[in-house]
Chain A
Amino acid sequence: MTGFAAYLVFFLIVALTYSIVVMGLNIQWGYTGLFNAGVVGFFAIGAYGTAILVGPDRAHLIGGFGLPFPLAVLGGMALCALAALIVGLATLRLREEYLAIATFGIAISIQLVALNFESLTGGAQGLVGLPRPLFGLFDSPAGYNLFYLGVVAVMAGLVYWALETAVRSPWGRLLKAVREDETAARSLGRNPARVRLEVFVLGCVLMGLAGGLYVGFIGYVSPLDFLPILTFQIWAMLIVGGSGNNRGAIVGAVGVWALWAMSGLAISRFLPVAYQSQGGAIQVILIGLLIVLTLIFRPRGLIGEAESVSKHAD
């Protein structure tokens, strides 16, 4: 493979992993109107959960169960579900921006736990040298990456199919009704609190799945992979792609990640060496600009939501 093709494979693995996170956020925000600003926290729980379960036993660390990778990912997702259930029960009575502030704070706390609970998470170094699933079967890293791209693509496709099927049905209508008018939904026999909790947990479990896949690919976890900026990147992906639409979520993930990668490349290529360390800030500004410009000029995103929710009402 040429350098560009190898990079493209690497790029797509990360972008498709993020697309799963974006789809998780999409059912929370796009369909149900839950302002989860703690996305990265649940991505981190899935990643650390998987890492702790899959990792080899080490004397100075708790955990290291050496489980097979798929089981470890499921474990990470279960951990995410539990965390989301607890967080959800505590915060889902909060509305919009209050929920956003609460979840944002929780994500910061999760990252701080990862940074400081050294005996479990490896602290600032993180957990390194994790086994990558089926890595031994491949001669070259490039071949392995191609295989892993297949794995991630299949998982993203599966998540897309599962969500699209579930959402284009009365379930999607229920979520959207709660988003549109909770009081009306309540007056028509639905318990919005239960719906919100269900969707919050489900979305966070998908973020956890993506975290697990991410760990399987890079082979280590470090708290630096779970900085708050990731939450805003994911939000940018959803808003640019078009919230309330799963295709939009995938398009947004690939598109925004491409912009991020290209802007990073441009900065390292064209910015004088003396300013390189400040260059990263430009990327953050670009993300903010992208969100604002989309909201002003194309509030429905690249692909907006369909008018009918259930395919049976078309």
Chain B
Amino acid sequence: MSESLPPGDSASGLSIRASSAEGARRGRLEAAGVVKTFGANRAVDGVSFAAEAGRITGLIGPNGAGKTTLFNAIAGEYALDGGSVRLDGTEIGSLPPYRVFSNGLARTFQIPRPFAGMTVLENVMFVPERQAGERFWNSWIRPGTVAREERQNRERAREIIEFCGLLPVERQLAGSISGGQQKLVELARALMADPKVLLLDEPGAGVNPALLDTIVDRIVELNKRGLTFLIIEHNMDFIMSLCDHIVVMATGRVIAEGTPKEVIAQPQVIEAYLGGAVA
């Protein structure tokens, strides 16, 4: 955590890189012919789409369409059985999750996975990579370096925690806060990495309306600063108001793609949602 970050929005004091500071927009995610099978079941069956840099792309489809499987395949949690995934032109489809993350892609989980036995603050402080203090001998031979990094790390973690509205619970164990707050902890952790692309798996599910507004608000704010989003969500109001571009999946395939208005008018989308599987 020794790199210095350009100052961000002074109102929140949050240092997320703004796209203007970077020049060209970064964070274009492209999937080409992605296949993931479980035995005979082709859960993801040749999916191709692109999440353009600096946009919010929605991924929708009925339950069992393969959205979360696709997420896991993109994030490296599942090895691909075919196809490729590129992030700004770099192939990430064959990398393990921790290397995908290092390449600038962060994700959250459908069911939140906070480190339940750790405080919210430490959940977020955990994130930066290459912390000197993660090598056990550095606490013996370079305690000053570890302490200094931790101070910087903590300061930045607290900014992000504040941005996510979690300051009141920063000292609580992440396992003891509400499900909606846990989703915000996941968002905070992802932001701590300063990613190029953020994959959110149902950020609104099971979240109370007030907290949902906070989440939507934060996504819009971050997107303004150039962060690319790919979001799975069932809440149609949420998706329609937030997304620039929508990809619709059913039975492992992409069945429609376009702006919210275009997509919602397509008969195969209505059929996928209302009339059983398209096949």
Contact = CB atoms under 8 A, between A and B. Distances in A.
Interface of A: 162, 165-166, 168-171, 173-174, 176-177, 179-181, 183-191, 202, 305, 307-310, 312-313
A68 B136 CA distance: 29
Interface size grouping (class) on chain B: 35 or more
B101 A189 contact: yes
B134 A174 contact: yes
Nearest to A166: B136
Contacts of A176: 115, 117-118
A95 to B, nearest CB: 16
Contact of A166 (B97, B140, B151): B140
A309 B97 contact: no
A187 B107 contact: yes
Contacts of B140: 162, 165-166
Chain A CB count within 10 A is highest, among B132, B134, B140, for B134
Chain A CB count within 10 A is highest, among B126, B133, B140, for B126
B36 interface: no
A186 B101 CA distance: 9
A-B residue pairs, 3 tightest by C-beta: A312-B150, A170-B133, A166-B136
Contacts of A173: 118, 122, 125-126, 134
B147 interface: yes
B58 interface: no
A170 B135 CA distance: 8
A309 B123 CA distance: 10
Contact of A308 (B106, B119, B147): B119
B126 A174 contact: yes
A202 B98 contact: no
Nearest to B143: A165
B116 A169 contact: no
B58 to A, nearest CB: 21
Given A166-B139, A170-B134, A174-B134, A313 B125 contact: yes
Chain B CB count within 10 A is highest, among A171, A183, A189, for A189
Interface of B: 75, 77, 96-98, 101-102, 106-107, 109, 113-119, 121-122, 125-127, 129, 131-140, 143, 146-147, 149-151, 153-154, 171, 173, 189, 193
B109 A184 contact: yes
A189 B193 contact: yes
B75 A187 contact: yes
24 contacts: A166-B139, A170-B126, A170-B131, A170-B132, A170-B134, A170-B146, A170-B153, A173-B134, A177-B115, A180-B115, A181-B114, A181-B115, A184-B113, A186-B97, A187-B77, A187-B101, A187-B107, A187-B109, A188-B106, A188-B189, A189-B129, A189-B193, A307-B171, A308-B119
A186 B146 CA distance: 23
Nearest to A164: B139
Nearest to A187: B97
A55 to B, nearest CB: 32
Chain A CB count within 10 A is highest, among B136, B138, B151, for B136
A184 to B, nearest CB: 4
A183 B121 CA distance: 19
B231 to A, nearest CB: 16
Contacts of A170: 125-126, 131-134, 146, 149-150, 153
B77 A180 contact: no
Contacts of A174: 126, 134
Contact of B122 (A162, A191, A202, A308): A308
A166 B143 CA distance: 10
A171 B109 contact: no
A171 B122 contact: no
A177 B125 CA distance: 11
Given A177-B126, A181-B113, A184-B109, A202 B136 contact: yes
A108 to B, nearest CB: 30
A188 B143 CA distance: 25
A265 to B, nearest CB: 39
Contacts of B101: 187-189
A310 to B, nearest CB: 6
A169 B122 contact: no
A170 B134 CA distance: 5
